[in-house]
């Protein structure tokens, strides 16, 4: 069955009209007679979008029970049974309800495509996985729902749904996106003009890159060699000289003047060893161009101008940047130079810039050996001098009489010149023609091919011997120079290759791309198989067209061991190139092995971390939990003993010991459970507007009297927190500070408002913590200093930070001026871009306060994000009642906090 086609409507932000455009496309297809159904479309209460659903067949959704509520998701099985030609599936990045067929909606779409059903879907640019960090830096929101870039890139069609930030904000203000009571919060937070402009630029650039891939593929398939100036691409020709840095910086400035400009620096190694670039200088220039956002390329070409133009046309460049020649004036007699040749042959579609620099006209020093293969022009000149020259010389010598000795020297000079120009064969031809003319015209008897004087025979033999010897020496020098130049070029390539691989900067795909570029091939792939009879699999591939499936299908294949091969298509390589190709093949195997070893190391590191936590947990259970248990058992055994008559004071003391041991056990177990919930991401929060001056005093219930000084003004703004979690955080911090404070020194708990945040600072005057250990004290099962084993399991601060982050806050450690440690808890003010929903609101549905969430039962809502363990809400959609956020273990109600004996 043929795979279905995927069409994606991509938008920069919620509300630009992706769903509306998708439904409009569905109506057009239905009018043309296409069998089209709605697999899942969410109209978010927007009337115009809801109207577009009329007239379309809706596949009933699947109902799922989750935590005493009924939710709905797309019924993949029902769509597969219906088997339409086209299915509409909204919100590609959506996370399904636990218990659904797949965890993510894009996985549902993959099943429909595999069944031959065409799918039309929508996604926002902020949900692409690779852009998560960028979007977070722009909006301050970490997208919890993402879709792999490769899923979107594989789409057969991607259509950008664009709208200016001003128009989108007008739609928002008119109530066309969210309900009126949510508009102000959304406009002042996520939908700020700067955010929308940056997201729009991301969407435009991402689509432009995708279009560029299509263009390159089309040009390759249709063998289009003409340059299409769709975007500015500037190729910088480097020689390895010091002027390269000037050229790179100038190219970067030119690229900045046009949107989407690219800089591609290329260094061309000639096979004849003409260039003598400094590897150190090239490394510096490569680092410079990469720092400026460009790319560095290393290409081999015997004809530098032709190779440079071929590279520029291959990447669809619009400009070539070259430096003014460093040659002296007299050196131009050997030719016009690379710059002039490139400018002459570039054609009307490729601009060539010659940039002046400080090294212009200062000379290049002694040129490197030129002796690779003698060029065609030199060989032609060698034959002309060796064959035509003696004839012309004979005509001249027939008019003057210089004597046989001088005549032979003149013919010998022509033979040496032929050898220097054309090598061995022209020199041998010159020797043959010269000896014939000497014998016929100048050796008695004249005009006969005989020699009367034996001395003349010796002279002619010496002439032929000298000519052949000189020609052999010249040809041998040319061959040796060619070999040296070839090895030099190979060493340069291998030096770059080894440097990249040893530094670990090159991925397998980048290395294969380097192979393809170096040898001028169309595609390159690394194939492997498990045994001699197993099928080949593609470990990595680059280039156009479908990846190779077997080495036999390639134009060139290089085995790597018994079950791996590097395969290339494009042309057949000469035997002398296979040595370098073998090095590339071996290095590609090394890169593949290193990638797999890194993956294994990551898995081993995760297992080691899990083992460390389990070991620490066993240690805590074996000691820290048994100690209070032993105390409780001893007290109970004493009370039950009939041999001793206990006084009322003794009985009260034993009962107090039992109560303290039980409290200690309760808090130790509570911390262990809290940490396990944090590790598994199942902490649920109930965010409400809370007065911090009401929560902080409650957290001090178990703290010794006169050990804490409070400075929490009643005028502080309300904070958006989970009151129970905040109480636990403050209690852990205060108990930790009290434990380390000297006797007589009270711990200060102060709160203050800064901009849209509220800070709670817990200040102690203890020994403090060095800077290098400030982050380590927040790790689970960590004790700082020589805390006794019975002081706790080292989870207090880890739990406190985890709960703080679950509420959208931060917790950090700072030095106390004058000595000690200050814990800084930063919380969001209730009016700072966060709206809350009381837990007793109807659990039906609600419009979102912003692009990242909506009202849910017992869950707070923010215009940017909501905390949830199981499924997050896309900025495209308000949270539906179908999406649960509560964990299996709800947050326990606040309880009096007793000293937990936390240690840092």
pLDDT in tens, 249-273: 888 888 877 656 788 998 887 654 4
User: How far is the CA of 370 from the CAs of 138, 309, 373, 511, 576, in angstroms?
Assistant: 55, 22, 9, 30, 19
pLDDT greater than 70 at residue 202: yes
pTM of structure: 0.39
Identify the pLDDT of residue 674: 65
State residue 610's pLDDT score.
Answer: 62
Q: Residue 825: what pLDDT?
A: 92
How much is the pLDDT for 892?
Answer: 37
Q: Are the CB atoms for 106 and 68 separated by under 8 Å?
A: no
How does pLDDT run across 628-651, given as a tens digit for each residue? 777 888 888 888 877 777 888 888
For the ranges 345-349, 362-366, 724-728, which has the lowest average pLDDT?
Answer: 362-366
The rounded Cα 900 to chain-centroid distance in angstroms is 44
pLDDT reported for residue 330: 55
Name the CA dihedral angle for 694, 696, 701, 707, rounded to a multiple of 10 degrees. Answer: -130
Sign (positive/negative) of CA torsion 253, 257, 259, 265?
negative
Q: Encode pLDDT of 130-180 as tens digits.
A: 888 888 878 877 788 889 888 888 888 899 998 888 888 888 877 778 777
Query: In 385-531, which ranges are continuous DSSP H helix?
Result: 389-397, 404-422, 424-437, 454-503, 508-519
Strands 319-323 and 351-355: parallel
Predicted local confidence at residue 622, as pLDDT: 55
Which range among 115-124, 431-440, 620-629, 796-805 has the greatest average pLDDT? Answer: 115-124
Residue 259: its pLDDT value, please?
Answer: 55
Q: How far apart are CA 281 and CA 273, in angstroms?
A: 17
Q: What residues form DSSP beta bridges with 36?
A: 86
Average pLDDT, rounded, for the chain: 75
Q: Sorting pLDDT into bands at 50, 70 and 90, what band is 873?
A: very low
Identify which of 137-141, 744-748, 773-777 has the greatest average pLDDT. Answer: 744-748
Mean pLDDT computed over 605-619: 65
Peptide bond into 445 cis (omega under 30): yes
d(CA 335, CA 346): 17
Q: How confident is the model at residue 885 (pLDDT cuts 50, 70, 90)?
A: very low
How does 88-101 read in b/e, with b if 16+ C-beta sit within 10 Å?
Answer: bbbbbbbbbbeebe
Q: Is the pLDDT of residue 869 over 60?
A: no
What would the mean pLDDT of 325-349 be, rounded to a whole number? 71
Give dist(CA 566, CA 489) in Å, integer.
Answer: 21
**pLDDT given at position 840:** 38
* pLDDT interval class at 450 (50, 70, 90): low
- Give the residue-averaged pLDDT of 788-800: 62
- Cβ atoms of 254 and 261 closer than 8 Å: yes
The confidence score (pLDDT) of residue 678 equals 57
Is 179 within 8 Å of 45 (Cβ atoms)? yes
pLDDT in tens, 55-105: 899 999 888 877 777 888 899 999 999 999 999 999 998 988 888 888 899
pLDDT above 50 (res 797): yes
pLDDT exceeds cutoff 60 at 838:
no
């Amino acid at each position: 069955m043929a795979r279905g086609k995927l069409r994606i409507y991509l938008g920069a932000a919620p509300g630009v009209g992706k769903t509306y455009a998708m439904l409009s496309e569905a109506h057009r297809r239905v009018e043309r007679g296409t069998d089209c159904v709605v697999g899942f479309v969410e109209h978010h209460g927007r009337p115009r979008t809801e109207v577009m659903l009329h007239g379309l067949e809706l596949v009933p959704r699947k109902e799922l029970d989750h935590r005493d509520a009924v939710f709905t998701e797309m019924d993949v099985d029902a769509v597969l049974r219906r088997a339409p030609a086209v299915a509409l599936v909204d919100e590609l990045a959506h996370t399904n309800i636990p218990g659904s067929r797949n965890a993510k909606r894009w996985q549902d779409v993959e099943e429909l495509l595999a069944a031959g059903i065409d799918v039309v879907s929508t996604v926002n640019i902020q949900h692409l996985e690779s852009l998560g960090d960028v979007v977070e830096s722009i909006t301050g929101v970490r997208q919890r729902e993402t879709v792999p870039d490769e899923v979107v890139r594989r789409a057969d069609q991607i259509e950008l749904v664009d709208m200016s930030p001003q128009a989108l904000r007008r739609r928002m203000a008119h109530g066309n996106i969210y309900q009126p009571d949510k508009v102000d919060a959304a406009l002042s937070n996520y939908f700020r003009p700067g955010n929308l402009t940056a997201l729009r630029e991301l969407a435009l650039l991402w689509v432009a890159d995708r279009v560029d891939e299509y263009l390159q593929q089309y040009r390759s398939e249709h063998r289009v060699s003409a340059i299409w100036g769709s975007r500015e691409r500037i190729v910088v020709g480097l020689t390895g000289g010091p002027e390269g840095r000037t050229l790179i910086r100038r190219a970067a400035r030119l690229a900045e003047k046009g949107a989407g400009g690219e800089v591609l620096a290329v260094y061309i190694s000639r096979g004849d060893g003409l260039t003598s670039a400094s590897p150190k200088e090239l490394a510096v220039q490569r680092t410079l161009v990469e720092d400026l956002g460009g790319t560095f390329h290393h290409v081999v070409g015997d004809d530098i101008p032709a190779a440079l133009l071929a590279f520029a046309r291959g990447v669809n460049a619009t400009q070539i940047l070259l430096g003014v020649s460093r040659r002296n004036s007299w050196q131009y007699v050997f030719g016009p130079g690379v710059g002039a040749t490139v400018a002459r042959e570039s054609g009307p579609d490729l601009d060539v810039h010659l940039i002046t620099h400080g090294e212009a006209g200062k000379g290049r020093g002694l040129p490197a050996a030129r002796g690779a293969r003698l060029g065609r022009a030199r060989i032609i000149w060698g034959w002309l001098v060796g064959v035509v020259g003696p004839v012309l010389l004979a005509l001249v010598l027939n008019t003057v009489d210089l004597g046989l000795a001088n005549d032979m020297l003149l013919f010998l000079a022509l033979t040496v010149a032929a050898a220097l120009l054309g090598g061995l064969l022209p020199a041998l031809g010159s020797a043959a023609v010269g000896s014939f003319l000497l014998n016929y015209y100048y050796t008695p008897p004249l005009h006969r091919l005989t020699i009367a004087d034996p001395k003349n025979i010796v002279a002619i033999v010496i002439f032929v011997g000298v000519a052949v010897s000189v020609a052999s020496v010249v040809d041998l020098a040319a061959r040796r120079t060619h070999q040296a130049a070839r090895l030099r070029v190979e060493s340069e390539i291998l030096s770059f290759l080894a440097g990249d691989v040893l530094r670990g900067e090159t991925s397998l795909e980048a290395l294969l791309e380097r192979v393809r570029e170096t040898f001028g091939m169309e595609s390159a792939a690394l194939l492997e198989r498990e045994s001699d009879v197993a099928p080949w699999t593609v470990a990595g591939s680059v280039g156009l067209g479908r990846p190779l499936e077997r080495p036999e299908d390639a134009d060139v294949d290089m085995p790597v061991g018994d079950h791996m091969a590097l395969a290339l298509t494009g042309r057949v390589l000469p035997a002398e190139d296979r040595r370098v190709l073998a090095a590339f093949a071996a290095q590609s195997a090394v890169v593949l092995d290193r990638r797999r070893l890194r993956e294994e190391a990551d898995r081993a590191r995760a297992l080691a971390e899990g083992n460390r936590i389990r070991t620490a947990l066993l240690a805590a259970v074996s000691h820290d939990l048994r100690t209070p248990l032993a105390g409780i058992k001893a007290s109970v055994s004493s009370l039950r003993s009939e041999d001793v008559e206990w006084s009322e004071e003794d009985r009260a003391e034993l009962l107090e010991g039992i109560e303290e041991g039980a409290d200690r056990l309760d808090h130790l177990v509570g911390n262990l459970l809290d940490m396990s919930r944090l590790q598994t991401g199942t902490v649920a929060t109930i965010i409400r507007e809370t007065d911090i001056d009401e929560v902080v005093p409650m957290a001090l219930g178990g703290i010794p009297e006169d050990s804490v000084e409070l400075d929490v003004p009643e005028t502080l703004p309300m904070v958006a927190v989970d009151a129970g979690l905040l109480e636990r955080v403050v209690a852990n911090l205060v108990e930790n500070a009290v434990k380390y404070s000297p006797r007589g020194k009270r711990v200060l708990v102060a709160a203050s408002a800064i901009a849209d945040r509220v800070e709670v600072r817990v200040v102690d005057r203890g020994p403090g913590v060095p800077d290098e250990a400030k982050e380590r004290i927040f790790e689970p099962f960590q004790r700082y200093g020589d805390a006794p084993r019975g002081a706790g399991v080292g989870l207090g601060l880890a739990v406190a930070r985890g709960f703080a982050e679950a509420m959208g806050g931060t917790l950090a450690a700072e030095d106390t001026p004058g000595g000690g440690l200050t814990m800084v808890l930063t919380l969001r003010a209730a009016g700072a871009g966060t709206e809350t929903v009381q837990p007793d609101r109807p659990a039906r549905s609600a419009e979102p306060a912003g692009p990242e969430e909506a009202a849910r039962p017992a869950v707070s809502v923010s215009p940017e994000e909501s905390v949830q363990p199981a499924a997050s809400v896309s900025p495209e959609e308000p949270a539906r009642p179908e999406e649960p956020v509560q964990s299996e273990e709800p947050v326990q109600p606040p309880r009096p906090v007793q000293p937990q004996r936390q240690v840092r």
